[in-house]
Amino acid sequence: MKKEVLAAFRAATAQPDYLTTEKMDSVLGGFGTFNLGVWAAANVIAKELKAGKKINVTVQDEKRTEIDEIAKKAVRCLMDCGADGPNAALLAAVLLYWAGSSTTAGIPAPNRKLGAVCRMAAGVPASRVQNIPTEKLNNKISGYAAVRAIYELLDKEVVAPWPGSITPMGVAGSPLTGHTRIGEDHLFPEVAKKLVKAGVDGMMRAYNSVGIKPCRWMSSLLACAATLEIIHPDAYVGEEYGPFLKTRSPYVCGLAAVEAAKMPETIHIRGTHEELETAKVIGDLAMILKDVGQPTVVGMIMMNEACALIEEGPVLGVGRSGGPLLLPLNHWCTSATLSLYLLGKGMAESEVADVIAQVMHDYYQADHAAVATDVLARRANFIERGPVTRSVQLGLEPTLTRCVYERAETCFNALQEGRSLTDVVRDFEQERLRVLAKGVAEINSKKLGRQIEYIKYLNVHPGAGRRTHKLAMLYFAFDGYVDVECKVDGKVYFFENVMAKTIPEALLAQDKQTLAIIECFAAGLVDMLNAGACAMDVVVPACVGAAMGMEPEEAVRQATAGATISMSIPVPSLTESATLAYRISKNM
């Protein structure tokens, strides 16, 4: 290996965040997200599992159980990484759930619930579902939409099988209702089904009204959580719903939500395709939300991303960091949850590594997603070492090494032949756009049930004409211009300036025919806007140029001149990594 290639490789990978436009230190203060805390807390829990600790909530007659201590450790780790109390409680509970914990145990005492265990570990007060926001999908709503719809229904009619006013003394509010056929077979299930449907419908209407595509996942969770505030939240139910001692009212709520939101009856884990019953997962997570306190929008974003280990996530609205989109790295924590889940199932770290490497193919840009995920694992490993980050690095370091080496070698050879650094970066950008377009066409053909023969993203550059500010003219993410040509179901379409013209005009005109074609390629535009999540196509060439003797500032200038999407926003550490490459090469 030429010393310049080696110097460039070492410099580009010397710090995890050299290969991204993301600012990672700020999130450790809780500014924006706290995904590094999620990665770190996953390591905390995984280490407890490896030590043989029991993470189930139980009916032990003890003041403290193992789950209480583990919850405290996870919550403290999250809070040290920027999460406030309610958000730390929520993510600790969700991580423990995916690691294998049950969500509730015991009636009436000891009565432990996973959400409450984590809330008490965080030392925060209880709250109500109406105060829980959804994640931000540009706009956002809250559980109030579900709560309002439910109470409006209660005001209009008696939803129970009988009016409460006729309940005899001794039956009303007693174990005769709570723990016999009266409540378990009739009252709780019947009320649950009606309230959940009202709540789901209320959420979906609210989403639609503010211009958000209705989210079936979050509508179901908050409708079930709101219902569990009203009905007996952990009552056993009739055996028509499942075995005694295993089936409780949250499951009935989940069944109602699956039907109301038109969700599939089963969902699957990424990589292994293990089948889970949707109703159980919805009911369990709703129980956590009911008890965990009052998370913020940031907490709900992180919860959804932690749950994106679900294969059907993109369709149901379960986070986005599991693919196929390339998002800002500050959202990504799905690989951490997936690794924790698999470790909790007893997989060896090498087996987990294989699954993590495999699921990178769920992304439109598999290599860039692998490098971006490895960047996060490396950064999180500085905070809390453990089996989760170790497994992810074991799975993805080979891809990172190959990608950086290939780019360094290609760039070195091209510069030796007399080509400019700017042209080399342009070549990398064009190849990235080609790979992206191919990935979008292949994956969306399957998801949409259409024959997308090809997509071409053309004339990609900053400055779509909406803004005159100099930053908008320099950086693609602020005002990007893209033309698109695609062939769908045998017909060729061409659109100009799609982000500033085609898409907004089609939405304002409610042109469903055009919107149906836009749906075939629009996700690729998201990847372009967020492409700086993995900026290796500009970082590695800048390091090669500097290693070959260019002044670092000149190498950066020439490399950035050829970049469009890989520098969709500024790369704050680019000069730093190029300077390091220059010094390494000079001293070899």
pLDDT tens-place string over residues 292-311 = 999 999 999 999 999 999 99
- Which residues on neighbouring strands pair with residue 488, listed in sequence order? 452, 491
pLDDT, residue 162, reads 93
Residue 253: the pLDDT is: 97
Q: What is the mean pLDDT of residues 193-215?
A: 97
Sequence-separated (6 or more) residues with CB below 8 Å from residue 103:
57, 97, 113, 114, 115, 250, 284, 287, 288
Annotate 442-467 with b (16+ C-beta within 10 A) or e (fewer).
ebbeeeeebebeebebeebebbbeee
Write down the residue that tokens 């997200």 correspond to. 33
Chain mean position to CA 74:
19
Q: Is the pLDDT of residue 194 over 70?
A: yes
pLDDT tens digits along 219-229: 999 999 999 99
Task: Please give the Cα distance from 190 to 231 (Å, whole number).
Answer: 10
Q: What are the Cα distances from residue 51, in Å, to 383, 386, 499?
A: 20, 12, 52
Element (H, E) at 201: helix 188-209
Could you tell me if 179 and 108 are in contact, meaning their C-beta atoms sit under 8 angstroms apart? no
Beta bridge partners of 457: 484
User: Could you give the percent of the chain with pLDDT greater than 70?
Assistant: 99
What percentage of the chain carries pLDDT values higher than 90? 82
Higher pLDDT, 245 or 218: 218
Distance CA 119, CA 100 (A): 18
What does the pLDDT read at residue 107? Answer: 62
pLDDT value, residue 490: 97
Please determine, for residue 436, whether its predicted confidence score (pLDDT) is greater than 80. Answer: yes
**pLDDT of 106:** 66
| pLDDT per residue as tens digits for the range 41-85 | 999 999 999 999 988 877 777 778 899 999 999 999 999 999 999
Rounded-to-integer distance, Cα 343 and Cα 324, Å: 24
DSSP-assigned letters across all residues of 304-332:
HHHTTTBTTHHHHT--STTSSS---GGG-
22 pLDDT above the threshold of 90: no
pLDDT at 245 over 80: no
| pLDDT above 90 (res 400) | yes
More confident residue, 243 or 422: 422
C-alpha distance from residue 274 to each of 263, 359, 426 (Å): 17, 14, 42
Q: How far is CA 284 from the centre of its chain?
A: 19
* Max Cα-Cα span within the chain: 94
The residue among 475 and 412 whose pLDDT is bigger is 412
> If we measure between CA atoms, which residue out of 374, 407, 366 comes closest to residue 391?
374
Handedness of CA 400, 404, 405, 406 (dihedral sign): positive
Model confidence at 128: pLDDT above 70: yes
Partnered with residue 137 across adjacent β-strands are 139
Which one is predicted more confidently, 173 or 410? 410
The model's confidence at residue 419, banded by pLDDT at 50, 70 and 90, is very high
Say if residue 110's pLDDT is above 70: no
pLDDT over 90 (residue 27): no
Place of tokens 């070195």: 412
How far does the chain reach from its first CA to its final CA, in angstroms? 13
Q: What is the pLDDT of residue 529?
A: 93
pLDDT of residue 108: 63
- What whole-number distance in Å separates Cα of residue 588 and Cα of residue 1? 13
What is the Cα–Cα distance from 308 to 36, expressed in whole angstroms? Answer: 16
Q: For residues 165 and 184, what is the distance between their CA atoms, to the nearest angstrom?
A: 19
Q: What is the pLDDT of residues 527-556, one digit of tens each?
A: 999 999 999 999 999 999 999 999 999 999
- What's the pLDDT at 99? 97
The pair phi, psi for residue 92, each rounded to 5°, is -60, -45
> Does 468 have pLDDT greater than 90?
no
Chain-wide mean pLDDT for the chain? 94
> Where residue 23 falls among pLDDT bands split at 50, 70, 90?
confident
Residue 176 confidence (pLDDT):
82
Distance of CA 417 to the CA centre of its chain: 43
Q: Which residue has the higher pLDDT, 487 or 567?
A: 487
CA trace torsion 448, 449, 454, 457 (10° rounding): -10
Give the pLDDT confidence score for residue 111 in this predicted structure: 73
pLDDT of 302: 96
Q: How confident is the model at residue 109 (pLDDT cuts 50, 70, 90)?
A: low
Tell me how far the alpha carbon of residue 49 is from its chain's centroid: 24
CB of 295 within 8 A of CB of 90? yes
Q: Which pLDDT value is given to residue 327?
A: 85
pLDDT of residue 119: 97
pTM higher than 0.85, yes or no? yes
Domain ranges in the chain are 1-21+420-588, 24-126+293-418, 129-243+259-274
For residues 235-255, average pLDDT: 90
Q: Could you report the per-residue pLDDT of 450-462, keeping only the tens digit for each? A: 999 999 999 999 9
Q: Which amino acid is at 245?
A: L
Among the residue ranges 12-16, 110-114, 438-442, 557-561, the one predicted with the least confidence is 110-114
Contact 421, 409 (CB under 8 A): no
Instruction: Tell me which H or E stretch contains 517.
Output: helix 512-529
- 144 pLDDT band (50/70/90 cuts)? very high
Q: What is the pLDDT of residue 320?
A: 86
Q: DSSP assignment, residue 214?
A: P
Axis-axis angle for helices 334-344, 366-383 (nearest 10): 70
Q: What is the mean pLDDT of residues 165-170?
A: 91
pLDDT for position 105: 75
